[in-house]
């Protein structure tokens, strides 16, 4: 985030202000303590000078959809969205103590972890896309690390509505991770451009720098990066020992022609999972909203509704997969249950006889286990 001074934190009913967490071009993030239930939360507040009727309407729709999407395990959980007393919209969300941006700047991440993050983020973004939305600002700082150490996607929707106003549609971009067509303002966002951004984000986590950034910091101005990205000449990950399959995967995701990239986040996830398999890494489960969910709950921006099941892929040799593959047998009617069934329902008379047998055995010094072994019970 930028280094400008954060605005004054708003007074929020039911929350106690703790400290600032950061500030960006269009919002501030503060740490609050919620009174009931008692927990710390991150509160993201839009700047007062960014608020207008159109932004407020967009905020209401995006807040509702974001909160419903946050049921996905790899999307940040939103607890509340409202307007503060001084008129600033805000989100109250789970507090995530770290970001992938901070992590890769300390040291590049291991390949196995990067592939795992990629599958999880692809599942989150596939769910967003099936809800009829685009993130439009995928980058390492928008992949947070929650209190359990898991990556979660944050900051979608509102950034695209507020950051930068262009001709017609709003264009939101973070140059090092934006696709050529977005930088050239041919599109404000698309599924292929989001595939590019996720590929560029994963490359960054693995390499310790963005794909078109050079080791010489003096040659990485905004204009220089933009020019290199538009030309889209892929450079292999500058880390010794990276398998060719990884560079092939990234080169495909960041192809200059959008039509030659993976057609969806689901397709990109399968490429990541296949790389895991080829490298002897246990494939990460892919979780995304089902097609039935998307068909039953299209986004209606006047009355947004998002609901439905989540589908998942698991390793084919796992116990969970084996259980799911077993045929489901409808329960039988009681009078169809054979007398030999272990879980049968006994009548009160039978229960009384069994109790008498156990009582008599106890007096005679015979254990219950012996009664089972002899077939009496």
How confident is the model at residue 173, as a pLDDT? 62
Q: How confident is the model at residue 62 (pLDDT cuts 50, 70, 90)?
A: low
| Whether pLDDT at 3 is above 50 | yes
If DSSP codes are grouped into helix, strand and coil, which group holds residue 46? strand
Instruction: Give the C-alpha separation, 90 to 47, whole Å.
Output: 10
Q: How confident is the model at residue 307 (pLDDT cuts 50, 70, 90)?
A: very low
- What are the boundaries of each domain within the chain? 96-318, 347-377
If DSSP codes are grouped into helix, strand and coil, which group holds residue 35? coil
How confident is the model at residue 367, as a pLDDT? 44
Do the bridges between strand 89-94 and strand 98-99 make them parallel or antiparallel, or are there none, so unpaired?
unpaired
| Whether pLDDT at 35 is above 50 | yes
Highest mean pLDDT among 48-62, 110-124, 286-300, 312-326: 110-124
**Residues 173-208: pLDDT tens digits?**
689 999 999 999 998 889 999 999 999 999 999 999
How confident is the model at residue 87, as a pLDDT? 86
Q: How confident is the model at residue 338 (pLDDT cuts 50, 70, 90)?
A: very low
Taking CA atoms, 212 is separated from 68, 231, 244, in Å, by 35, 10, 19
Residue 20: CB atoms within 10 A of its CB come to: 14
Alpha helices in 279-367 (DSSP H): 291-296, 319-325, 348-364
C-beta of residue 41 within 8 angstroms of C-beta of residue 32: yes
The residue with tokens 């246990």 is 282
C-beta of residue 78 within 8 angstroms of C-beta of residue 63: yes
CATH number of 96-318: 1.10.510.10
Instruction: Give the C-alpha separation, 66 to 134, whole Å.
Output: 12
* 21 vs 320: which has the higher pLDDT: 21
Active site residues: 136
User: What average pLDDT does range 274-300 have in this prediction?
Assistant: 81
């Amino acid at each position: 985030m930028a280094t400008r001074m954060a605005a004054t934190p708003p007074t929020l009913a039911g929350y106690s202000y703790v400290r600032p967490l950061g500030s960006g071009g269009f919002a501030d993030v503060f740490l609050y303590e919620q009174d009931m239930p008692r927990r710390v939360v991150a509160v993201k507040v839009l700047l007062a000078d960014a608020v207008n009727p159109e932004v407020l309407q967009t905020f209401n729709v995006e807040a509702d959809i974001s909160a419903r999407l946050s049921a996905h395990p790899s999307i940040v959980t939103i607890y509340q969205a409202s307007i503060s007393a001084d008129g600033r919209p805000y989100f109250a969300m789970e507090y995530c103590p770290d970001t992938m941006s901070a992590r890769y700047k300390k040291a590049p991440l291991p390949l196995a972890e990067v592939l795992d993050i990629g599958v999880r983020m692809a599942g989150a973004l596939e769910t967003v896309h099936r809800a009829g939305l685009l993130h439009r600002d995928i980058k390492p700082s928008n992949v947070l690390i929650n209190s359990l150490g898991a990556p979660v996607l944050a900051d979608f929707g509102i950034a695209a509505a507020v950051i930068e106003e262009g001709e017609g549609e709003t264009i939101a971009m973070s140059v090092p991770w934006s696709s050529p067509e977005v930088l050239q303002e041919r599109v404000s966002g698309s599924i292929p451009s989001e595939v590019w951004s996720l590929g560029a984000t994963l490359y960054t986590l693995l390499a310790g720098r963005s794909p078109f950034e050079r080791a010489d910091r003096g040659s990485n101005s905004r204009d220089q990066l933009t020019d290199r990205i538009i030309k889209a000449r892929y450079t292999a990950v500058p880390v010794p020992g990276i398998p060719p399959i990884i560079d092939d995967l990234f080169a495909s995701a960041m192809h200059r022609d959008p039509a030659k990239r993976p057609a969806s986040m689901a397709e990109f996830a399968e490429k990541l999972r296949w790389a895991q398999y080829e490298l002897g890494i246990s494939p990460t489960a892919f979780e995304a909203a089902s097609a039935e969910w998307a068909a039953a709950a299209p986004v209606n921006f006047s009355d947004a509704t998002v609901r439905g099941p989540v589908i998942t892929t698991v390793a084919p040799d796992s116990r969970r997969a084996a259980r799911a593959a077993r045929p489901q047998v409808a329960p039988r009617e009681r009078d169809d249950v054979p007398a030999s069934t272990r879980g049968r329902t006994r009548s009160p008379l039978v229960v009384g006889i069994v109790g008498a047998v156990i009582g008599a055995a106890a007096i005679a010094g015979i254990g219950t286990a012996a009664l089972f072994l002899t077939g009496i019970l």
